[in-house]
Structure 1
Amino acid sequence: MNGYVGTATSRVDGRAKVTGAAKYAGEFAADGLLHGFVVTATIPRGRITRLDASGALKVKGVVDVLTHAHRHPLADKDEAWKDEVAPEKGSPFRPLYDDSIKFNDQPIALVVAEDWETAKFAATLLDVAYQEEPFATDLEAERGSATEVQKPHEPRGDAAAALAGAAIRHEADYLVPTEHHNPMELYATTAVWEVDRLTVYDKTQGVQNVQKFLCSVFGKTPDEIRVISPYVGGAFGSGLRPQYQVVLATLAALQLKRSVRIVLTRHQMYGLGYRPETIEHVGLGARPDGTLDAVVHEAIAVTSRYEEFSRNDTGWAEQLYKSANSRYSHQLVRLDVATPCDMRAPGAASGVWALECAMDELANALKLDPVELRLKCYSDRDQSEDLPYTSKQLRACYRQAAAAFGWSNRNPAPRSMRDGKELVGWGMATGIWEALQMPVAARIVLTANGHAEVSSAASDIGTGTYTIVAQVAADALGLPMDNITVKLADSSLPQAPVEGGSWMAASSAHAVLAAAEDIRQELARLAVAMAGSPLAGTDPADVILSEGMIAVGSDKSRSVSIADAMRSGSLERIEKEKLNHFAEDKSHARNTHSAVFAEVKIDEELGVIRVTRVVNAVAAGRILNTKTGRSQVMGSVVWGIGMALHEEAVMDHRFGRIMNANIAEYHIPVNADIHDIDVIFVDEQDEHINKLGIKGLGEIGIVGVPAAIANAVYHATGRRVRRFPITLDKLLS
């Protein structure tokens, strides 16, 4: 191997992105391209009683207006509308299906015109009337209607009795508001009409998922619909399920037999999925020495009336902290809103912040250092299954992060540390996520000139999949990275699932590794069989690929070039495709871990909060690319800062409508909000997880960050804020 894996390697797609050569879903050209503008509902629940498009159709340049009463046929059965990440229970939303309104800003019509501005103007001329029905959008008001949908883990012992009888007890509710995806790239689809098929350029995290979905909805075969998504300007869960604009663009293209582009507005994107508002109730019971006797974690979250969306908010303590008694549950309140969706570290980002704030409150009650309490309760096994971990270097995360942060200099008393007129707070928290792996196939085509093309339907949502695939292929084939071309995110390429859950790096890397091994074996056979070969009589298993040569170990005198070996076999190319195989391992728990330490400085008079330092130490097995990996974690930290201090969709419950559906009033961190971020990759050798010892990095970087900031705010001010975001009014009230 050349040694690209594990190094700080620049993105192979970086130049295309910064020069504008990279094309996104809304940028592909087509002859006779039409543009669609979506008209959305202005009530949260009811029926359309009138939808008159005559005014819009009179506008010059308008080609058609699609509605539930005027559209190409759509599938009827629920099953046809389910994709590979759809909730198990429910009836998926179907745009322009009928006259029913299920949530505010639901699409009710599509105006198609020769240009976007004409379509947008004509959309204002639609005459729409509704029959409104009673609705509910307030989680706290409807809390009493919650019903349990899952227990992440079976209860252990008698948690209620142990909590009630604990010497030191802490119980509290922690509230996460609705948070919306705001990726840089707007959701867009360009459906290119061809006589016998559609080529659909879509913003998605899974091209084959979208292809199967569209074929199901429109009764087509895979030969008739191809989905491509070479570049994605941010997704992190919002593109796991096909969004409604891809249905509408395909619908219009099929109906009009012309190419159609739809780009949603920023406001319209608030009608898509989101991190659901959740009430996290945590109860901890401990002995005076800090030993945990009871853990209770219950979540009550929002879902839509038509689907049950839930994730594991509450089971994480089973992997982190020893306790003889535990109980976990997840309840849902069904409201007149769109179905939530996955948003970076779904479940964990919400649930772990509540757990880790509760642990901080318990540490204060016990007068223990927060790190000391976590080490006291540290679990070496997954308690729910009584399993060891493939690897768990969380203790090293605590140690290295604390040392880098200077935690030993902390005065534990709230309001005890200052910098001029600012209060200084130091807080910490633990992070945890799953180390998942999924079936992915890769194809490698090696040509006699020593160039390899690696292809897979896997997506790169900006996380660096193009680059790590090239690194792994270069090392496995013994070629320079410049000799590797990577093709991704085309439904016609070898199979891959949606990119999510932090599984794509490990999964795609091992598919590439498997295909490269087949090529190595083929080259070894050719080299050994060459007339007068210096490898004659060599066991092909002992042959390696290095620097464009086929060799026996490091003995350069016993080597032949790849080109010569292929020429001797009269081969211009060798093509191998392989689906990775991960044997199901029920003997180990698989997780990534982190320790996050944060410093805040808060103006004592104004309440303005600055996160001035964050140290995030991550144990995630072998890091494929320390440069892109560090960027992943830094981005996660920024998102965690936004979650703690900025993000909140504000609903006017009188109208069931989001009031700040734009990035002027829906606050996210900007450059001025971000200061020093230090990422530490803790050395973690994992011989069980997979051949390369890889775990994913996409999610682990955010988990724990919001809690560390919230705990730092408490340390600075002595005020415990249990409702995100932590804003100055909550500190000054």
Structure 2
Amino acid sequence: MSETGKPISRIDGRLKVTGKATYAAEFNQPGMVYAFPVRATIAKGTIASIDDVTAKKEPGVIAVISYKNAMKLKPLDMQAQMKAGAAFLGETLPPLQDNKVHYIGQFIAVVVAETYEQARAAAYKLKVRYTQDKAATDLTAALPHATKPKVFMGEDAQVNEGKTATPLAAAAHRISQTYSTPAEHHHPMEPHATVAVWNSTDKLTLYDATQGVGMTSAIAAYFLGLSPENVQVIAPFVGGGFGSKGLWLHTLLVAMAAKATGKPVKLALTRQMMQTNVGHRAATIQHVAIGTDSAGKLSALRHHTDTYTNLTNFFEPSGKQSLVLYKAPLREVTYNVTKLNRGTPTFMRAPGETPGTFALESAIDEMAYKLKMDPVEFRIANHTGSDPMKGHAFSTDFLIDCYTRGAERFGWSNRSMEPRQKRNGKYLVGYGMATATYPGGRSAASVKVVMNTQGDVTVMTASIDIGTGTYTVLAQTVADSLGVPVDRIQVKIGDSSLPAAPLAGGSQTTASIHPAAMEACVMLRKELASLAIADPSSRLHGRNPEEISYSNGKLFVKGDEKTADSYTDIITRTKRNEIEACATTQPVSGAGLTIPGALCTPQTTPAEQNSDIKQYAFHSFGAQFAEVWVDEDFGTIRVTRFTSVQDVGRIMNEKTARSQIIGGVIFGIGAALMEATEYDKRWGNPVMRTLADYHVPVNLDVPPIDVHFIGKPDPHISPIGARGIGEIGITGVSAAIANAVFNATGKRLRDLPLTPDKLV
């Protein structure tokens, strides 16, 4: 693979830096009008009345839509939704269908006007009266009403409940601590936005900021009662998502407004709405207990999480990594989940593993210190090369390599076991590390490849680039699979009318679409070879297909590159303008999620590959190393160096992959040191309003980040051998920083974020 792995710059980079990349809110339409939602001001209750008389008299107002006059949507029906591919929702609350209020900020009406300013001004003139009920707004206060869910995403949620009590009590060494993480919000730079255009009474186009055009299309088609092929969703560029885009039903709100007014309608959420209406990571209280024998070998591991939910079956699965890491004879992972009247929690970058690795990896560090063992050596001593729950070997196992290479690159040998031994002037200096992990998933996907008589290639799939480099890496795969230069390849994605692909989430895009792209290229080459073999004018006429190879835009006889025929000549002689191939590859490993409406004939997968999921567990692993400087007077913490070593299979593009890990580490620095959404416990509203008070890292907060990849292909996940990168980079980061703070100061911080007040 000559192009795969190269640090090629993004082929869409020029469009982005010149402002020519078109995002959802920029698809302006002739005659377009603007929608602005009205949000509930109570956390729980019912709407007693809505007085819209004044609002309707405001300049430019076209319509005011509420539960009183909104079009009726198809009701929730899980079986019907699953059949339609519309079961994966952010919250089970189709907009404006009744007068119930479930959280502050819930959309209860929408004003449509000729300009955005007019719609927004009129929205504040709506007079709403409520009948208010007592709301649950605080996690700790609501825990007595918590329940124990039986399943999470099809897996048992309560694992070995109560079974670790005896071995923990009998352990030679044990720790038991409580760790907490706050509510956090995604806050991608691009706000959520939708433009809805009804092309006819039953055909709809949505320009939407979504992580999955196929998923958004299926959801809209189901609730609006349309044929799936009549809803086209377009999202060629998405300015970040982190799990927040594509599952939410404000897109229906825009479609309803467009239907009611007979005009194209644009809705762009404000930063305040992004804190109530498009999900967040729920706060957690995690209790971790670890027992070892006298030699430091784990005997039992318990990880319990208290958290909350609302209008969804999703909850923060903080025990996921505790079912995968380390060789413990017995492990217990359990959850208590209560309901709060807050905006609905949802998936956020590495859901579960991000807060979960903070708790587990902090506890592992605490145990290592109790045993007076080096934290790296303690982890190596308790390493497992197989899935502890399923007993399957991991598809690749290079975690120990991550530990050892990371320690060498970071200079871990200079670390003192005892805290407060390193100093730089007024700063205490500490080293900390933690394990990173995330599942390796793959879904079914379809890709079409088209080649014209000039030798230009177009590759098409309904995948999404949320800033990860999909355009570039897909071009590299096709370049290698056809033997043509990257600059001759055009990539078309982000359109639900293209061959179907899974959403850009769960770190599965690369592992899913690239095998399909490779197979489509194989099919295209085979057809070109067949045409050449059958053509008396070709130098390959009559040759055996098995003796034909390819490179540099041509087919040739193996060992004799002069006996060749170019792609362009083969296509030209057929009197055709282009030749195409389309392939759907079914997952043979990983999560195996399916996609609705694949447009290509499925490629038959060899039976021996399908057996891989029965023989192997698919996970990526890594090691995170942090150096911190702590101001002893003020308690401020600065991360001054960071090393991240990752085993994620084959690296498809060194530059974009490194960028993904850097982004994840920065995300983790934010979670460790500053990110938290505070809620007013009286009313249930988030008190953060903008990025001025929801703090995220800026340039001065980000240290030099050394990224290194093991780079060995995973032979079992797919012929490509690559696993996802987007989420593993954040896992373990906050624990590595917290462990470094302990090494610097001797004080153990167990509650995120690690703010100065917790040190001083």
Asked whether 1:698 is paired with 2:697, we answer no
2:322/2:333 contact within 8 Å kept: no
Q: In structure 2, which of residues 196, 204, 207 is the aligned counterpart of residue 198 of structure 1?
A: 204
1:78/1:92 contact within 8 Å kept: no
Q: Which residue of 2 aligns with 1:55?
A: 54
| Aligned-partner Cα distance in 1 for 2:500–2:48 | 45
Amino acid corresponding to residue 69 of structure 2 in structure 1:
H
| Aligned-partner Cα distance in 2 for 1:140–1:449 | 66
Amino acid corresponding to residue 99 of structure 1 in structure 2:
N
Q: Which residue of 1 aligns with 2:8?
A: 9
Q: Which residue of 2 aligns with 1:181?
A: 186
Asked whether 1:561 is paired with 2:566, we answer yes
Amino acid corresponding to residue 511 of structure 2 in structure 1:
A
Asked whether 1:332 is paired with 2:337, we answer yes
- Using the TM superposition, give the Cα deviation of residue 443 of structure 1 relative to its aligned residue in structure 2, in angstroms: 0.7
SS at match of 1:51: strand
Asked whether 1:614 is paired with 2:642, we answer yes
SS at match of 1:320: coil
| Aligned-partner Cα distance in 2 for 1:117–1:690 | 51
Q: Which residue of 2 aligns with 1:97?
A: 97
| Aligned-partner Cα distance in 1 for 2:727–2:393 | 22
Q: In structure 1, which of residues 303, 306, 312 is the aligned counterpart of residue 309 of structure 2?
A: 303
Supply the RMSD in Å over aligned alpha carbons: 1.7
- Using the TM superposition, give the Cα deviation of residue 575 of structure 1 relative to its aligned residue in structure 2, in angstroms: 1.5
Q: In structure 2, which of residues 635, 655, 665 is the aligned counterpart of residue 627 of structure 1?
A: 655
1:526/1:568 contact within 8 Å kept: no
Q: Which residue of 1 aligns with 2:423?
A: 418
Q: Which residue of 2 aligns with 1:22?
A: 21
SS at match of 2:214: helix
- Using the TM superposition, give the Cα deviation of residue 154 of structure 1 relative to its aligned residue in structure 2, in angstroms: 4.3
- 1:347-388 C-alpha deviation (Å, 9 max, x unpaired): 111111111000000011101100010011011111111111
Q: In structure 2, which of residues 221, 233, 245 is the aligned counterpart of residue 215 of structure 1?
A: 221
Map 1:271-282; keep pairs closer than 5 Å: 271=276, 272-282=278-288
Map 1:452-463; keep pairs closer than 5 Å: 452-463=457-468
TM-score, normalization by structure 1: 0.97
- 1:621-655 C-alpha deviation (Å, 9 max, x unpaired): 10001100000000000000001111101011111
With 148-157 and 27-36 compared, the bigger mean Cα shift is at 148-157
Asked whether 1:597 is paired with 2:625, we answer yes
Distance verdict in 2 for CA 1:263–1:539, change over 3 Å: same
| Aligned-partner Cα distance in 2 for 1:335–1:358 | 28
Distance verdict in 2 for CA 1:67–1:367, change over 3 Å: same
- Using the TM superposition, give the Cα deviation of residue 317 of structure 1 relative to its aligned residue in structure 2, in angstroms: 3.0
Q: In structure 2, which of residues 293, 308, 317 is the aligned counterpart of residue 287 of structure 1?
A: 293
| Aligned-partner Cα distance in 2 for 1:695–1:195 | 42
| Aligned-partner Cα distance in 2 for 1:91–1:711 | 36
Distance verdict in 2 for CA 1:570–1:262, change over 3 Å: same
| Aligned-partner Cα distance in 2 for 1:469–1:91 | 32
- Using the TM superposition, give the Cα deviation of residue 699 of structure 1 relative to its aligned residue in structure 2, in angstroms: 0.8
TM-score, normalization by structure 2: 0.93
Map 1:41-80; keep pairs closer than 5 Å: 41-79=40-78
Amino acid corresponding to residue 123 of structure 2 in structure 1:
A
Asked whether 1:391 is paired with 2:396, we answer yes
- Using the TM superposition, give the Cα deviation of residue 554 of structure 1 relative to its aligned residue in structure 2, in angstroms: 5.5
- Using the TM superposition, give the Cα deviation of residue 311 of structure 1 relative to its aligned residue in structure 2, in angstroms: 4.9
| Aligned-partner Cα distance in 2 for 1:246–1:318 | 37
| Aligned-partner Cα distance in 2 for 1:370–1:86 | 43
- Using the TM superposition, give the Cα deviation of residue 86 of structure 1 relative to its aligned residue in structure 2, in angstroms: 5.0
1:285/1:293 contact within 8 Å kept: yes
2:214/2:462 contact within 8 Å kept: yes
Q: Which residue of 2 aligns with 1:525?
A: 530
Q: Which residue of 2 aligns with 1:655?
A: 683
Q: Which residue of 2 aligns with 1:35?
A: 34
Q: In structure 2, which of residues 254, 259, 275 is the aligned counterpart of residue 254 of structure 1?
A: 259
Map 1:480-629; keep pairs closer than 5 Å: 480-531=485-536, 533-553=538-558, 555-583=560-588, 584=610, 585-629=613-657
Distance verdict in 2 for CA 1:593–1:560, change over 3 Å: same
- 1:209-236 C-alpha deviation (Å, 9 max, x unpaired): 1111111111111343211111000002
- 1:554-596 C-alpha deviation (Å, 9 max, x unpaired): 5321211111122333332112111012334210011100000
Between the aligned residues of both structures, percent identity stands at 41
- Using the TM superposition, give the Cα deviation of residue 153 of structure 1 relative to its aligned residue in structure 2, in angstroms: 7.5
Q: Which residue of 2 aligns with 1:725?
A: 753
Asked whether 1:468 is paired with 2:451, we answer no
| Aligned-partner Cα distance in 2 for 1:128–1:292 | 59
| Aligned-partner Cα distance in 2 for 1:359–1:465 | 36
Asked whether 1:373 is paired with 2:378, we answer yes
1:186/1:265 contact within 8 Å kept: yes
1:191/1:260 contact within 8 Å kept: yes
- 1:598-633 C-alpha deviation (Å, 9 max, x unpaired): 011011101111011110000111000110000000
| Aligned-partner Cα distance in 1 for 2:8–2:623 | 25
Q: Which residue of 1 aligns with 2:606?
A: none
| Aligned-partner Cα distance in 2 for 1:679–1:541 | 42
With 72-81 and 708-717 compared, the bigger mean Cα shift is at 72-81
- Using the TM superposition, give the Cα deviation of residue 314 of structure 1 relative to its aligned residue in structure 2, in angstroms: 1.0
2:39/2:106 contact within 8 Å kept: yes
1:240/1:500 contact within 8 Å kept: no
Structure 2: which 5+ runs fail to align?
Answer: 589-609
Q: Which residue of 1 aligns with 2:607?
A: none
Amino acid corresponding to residue 113 of structure 2 in structure 1:
A
2:629/2:640 contact within 8 Å kept: yes
- Using the TM superposition, give the Cα deviation of residue 324 of structure 1 relative to its aligned residue in structure 2, in angstroms: 1.1
1:95/1:107 contact within 8 Å kept: yes
1:636/1:699 contact within 8 Å kept: yes
Q: In structure 2, which of residues 321, 324, 327 is the aligned counterpart of residue 319 of structure 1?
A: 324
Q: Which residue of 1 aligns with 2:601?
A: none
Amino acid corresponding to residue 25 of structure 1 in structure 2:
A
| Aligned-partner Cα distance in 2 for 1:157–1:542 | 63
1:427/1:713 contact within 8 Å kept: yes
| Aligned-partner Cα distance in 2 for 1:192–1:333 | 40
- Using the TM superposition, give the Cα deviation of residue 195 of structure 1 relative to its aligned residue in structure 2, in angstroms: 3.1
Q: Which residue of 2 aligns with 1:689?
A: 717
- Using the TM superposition, give the Cα deviation of residue 446 of structure 1 relative to its aligned residue in structure 2, in angstroms: 1.1
| Aligned-partner Cα distance in 2 for 1:517–1:394 | 34
2:399/2:623 contact within 8 Å kept: yes
SS at match of 1:71: coil
- Using the TM superposition, give the Cα deviation of residue 331 of structure 1 relative to its aligned residue in structure 2, in angstroms: 2.4
Distance verdict in 2 for CA 1:288–1:226, change over 3 Å: same
1:436/1:501 contact within 8 Å kept: yes
2:323/2:333 contact within 8 Å kept: no
SS at match of 1:248: helix
- Using the TM superposition, give the Cα deviation of residue 77 of structure 1 relative to its aligned residue in structure 2, in angstroms: 3.3
SS at match of 1:658: coil
Q: Which residue of 1 aligns with 2:603?
A: none
Amino acid corresponding to residue 353 of structure 2 in structure 1:
A
Distance verdict in 2 for CA 1:123–1:223, change over 3 Å: same
Distance verdict in 2 for CA 1:68–1:554, change over 3 Å: farther
| Aligned-partner Cα distance in 2 for 1:606–1:412 | 24
- Using the TM superposition, give the Cα deviation of residue 194 of structure 1 relative to its aligned residue in structure 2, in angstroms: 2.4
| Aligned-partner Cα distance in 2 for 1:110–1:275 | 26
- Using the TM superposition, give the Cα deviation of residue 81 of structure 1 relative to its aligned residue in structure 2, in angstroms: 6.8
| Aligned-partner Cα distance in 2 for 1:646–1:263 | 27
Distance verdict in 2 for CA 1:638–1:554, change over 3 Å: farther
Structure 1: which 5+ runs fail to align?
Answer: none
Q: Which residue of 2 aligns with 1:229?
A: 235
1:369/1:412 contact within 8 Å kept: yes
- Using the TM superposition, give the Cα deviation of residue 308 of structure 1 relative to its aligned residue in structure 2, in angstroms: 2.0
